[in-house]
């Protein structure tokens, strides 16, 4: 299948093209402002499907709205018609097409032109009125509040929020791309005369800003956002894509003594926390038990033994562990336990606990195994 993508250098175009290639669509005609105009004829002659994503939303002069959103659409359709190519054509419009501003008027004009073309040429046409689209590779300080907030907060720049109570309808770029690729197989989501991305997130501007600031602070507290919330998960992925190139990494606080070290890595209020424990040779750590707190130990380097004893029993249970064999050992409640490094190098253990450590209620009681 030969696919023509106009606006190929834009936010949606870039994301769509890379995913089309991921799915083994190899014949992709990329058309942007930098493309030689003469190539449009060749592309329109051969295309089996057209994603018309080109448009203007931040012109220097308002007249450019009609030139970019109506004028080029007209040129595209005339070229397809010249070669009697009645392949399906998708156009990216905007929810602002319902409004009376210059941008909305130009978008609605492009929609109407496509609908007329569909009737006259007998071609399948798909009109998507996108709400605010967010995700990686969106240009900040341009036409996306989410991109601007993510970029500025990640780079310690100020932001401006006129009304935090304004509700926004947003669609995530991966959901947009999934819907557009579905359209290639005639599985588009049609609502009346228009097509829509099935997953739309409604949230206030203030809530978005609060979330993004919490992402920035999460590094200091080793917290990870609640990934069970679909919007939070998508916004967090978006935020990370705007980190400065020299700030991809961040340090963790290592608690070091002569036995080795213990470092908290990730904390989640809903799923507990993950830590990294390093034990020096011949060192034994632990010798305590818990009422409710439970843990999982995974030795990833070195070798040793994990010992258990039920607090009202004399029987000692031993599990020999090694980084050469990935095995998770559950630490049950009511059993005092320890872990000893039997090797001559440091032993590294990944430890998960079902709850965050609370110094006011540690639920940890010393007792030799």
Q: What's phi and psi for 100, nearest 5 deg?
A: -100, 15
Is residue 331 classed as helix, strand or coil in its secondary structure?
A: strand
Taking Cα atoms as reference points, which of 33, 35, 29 lies closest to residue 17?
A: 29
Q: CA–CA separation, 351 vs 253, rounded Å?
A: 16
Rg for the chain (alpha carbons), in Å?
29
Q: CA–CA separation, 103 vs 57, rounded Å?
A: 7
Question: Are 54 and 14 contacting, i.e. CB atoms less than 8 angstroms apart?
Answer: no
Is residue 33 classed as helix, strand or coil in its secondary structure?
A: coil
Half-sphere exposure of 231 (CA within 13 A, CB side): 16
Q: CA–CA separation, 357 vs 82, rounded Å?
A: 70
Q: CA–CA separation, 18 vs 190, rounded Å?
A: 25
Task: Choose the catalytic residue: 29, 43, 70, 103.
Answer: 103
Question: Are 283 and 341 contacting, i.e. CB atoms less than 8 angstroms apart?
Answer: yes
Establish whether 103 is a catalytic residue.
yes
Question: Are 70 and 106 contacting, i.e. CB atoms less than 8 angstroms apart?
Answer: yes
Q: What's phi and psi for 248, nearest 5 deg?
A: -70, -30
Q: What's phi and psi for 245, nearest 5 deg?
A: -60, -25
Q: Which residue has the tokens 């100020």?
A: 158
**Sequence-ordered alpha helix ranges (H) in the chain:** 11-22, 39-46, 63-66, 72-82, 102-121, 145-154, 173-184, 205-221, 230-240
Q: Six-digit token pair at 283?
A: 């060192």
Residues known to be catalytic: 103
């Amino acid at each position: 299948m030969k696919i023509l993508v106009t606006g190929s250098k834009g936010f949606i175009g870039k994301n769509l093209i890379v995913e089309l290639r991921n799915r083994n669509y190899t014949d992709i005609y990329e058309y942007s402002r930098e493309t030689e105009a003469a190539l449009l004829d060749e592309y329109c002659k051969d295309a089996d499907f057209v994603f018309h994503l080109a448009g203007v939303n931040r012109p220097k002069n308002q007249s450019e709205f009609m030139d970019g959103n109506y004028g080029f659409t007209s040129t595209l359709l005339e070229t397809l018609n010249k070669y009697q190519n009645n392949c399906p054509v998708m156009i990216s419009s905007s929810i602002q097409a319902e409004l009376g501003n210059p941008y909305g008027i130009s978008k609605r004009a492009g929609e109407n032109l496509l609908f007329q073309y569909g009737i006259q040429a007998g071609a399948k046409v798909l009109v998507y009125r996108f709400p605010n689209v967010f995700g990686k590779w969106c240009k900040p300080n341009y036409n996306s509040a989410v991109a601007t907030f993510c970029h500025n907060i990640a780079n310690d720049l100020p932001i401006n929020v006129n009304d935090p109570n304004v509700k926004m309808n947003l669609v995530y770029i991966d959901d947009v791309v999934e819907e557009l690729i579905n359209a290639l197989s005639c599985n588009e989501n049609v609502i009346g005369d228009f097509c829509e991305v099935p997953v739309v997130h409604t949230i206030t501007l203030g809530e978005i800003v609060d979330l993004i600031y919490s992402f920035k602070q999460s590094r200091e507290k080793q917290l990870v956002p609640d990934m069970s919330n679909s919007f939070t998960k998508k916004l967090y992925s978006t935020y990370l894509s705007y980190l400065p190139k020299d700030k991809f990494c961040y340090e963790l606080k290592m608690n070091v003594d002569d036995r080795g070290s213990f470092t908290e890595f990730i904390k989640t209020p809903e799923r507990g926390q993950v830590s990294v424990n390093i034990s020096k040779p011949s060192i034994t750590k632990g010798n305590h038990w818990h009422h409710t707190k439970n843990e999982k130990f995974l030795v990833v380097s070195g070798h040793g033994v994990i010992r258990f004893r039920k607090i009202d029993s004399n029987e000692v249970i031993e599990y020999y562990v090694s980084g050469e064999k990935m095995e998770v050992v559950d630490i049950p409640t009511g059993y005092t336990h320890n872990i000893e490094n039997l090797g001559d190098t440091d032993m590294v253990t990944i430890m998960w606990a079902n709850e965050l450590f609370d110094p006011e209620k540690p639920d940890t009681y010393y007792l030799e195994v």
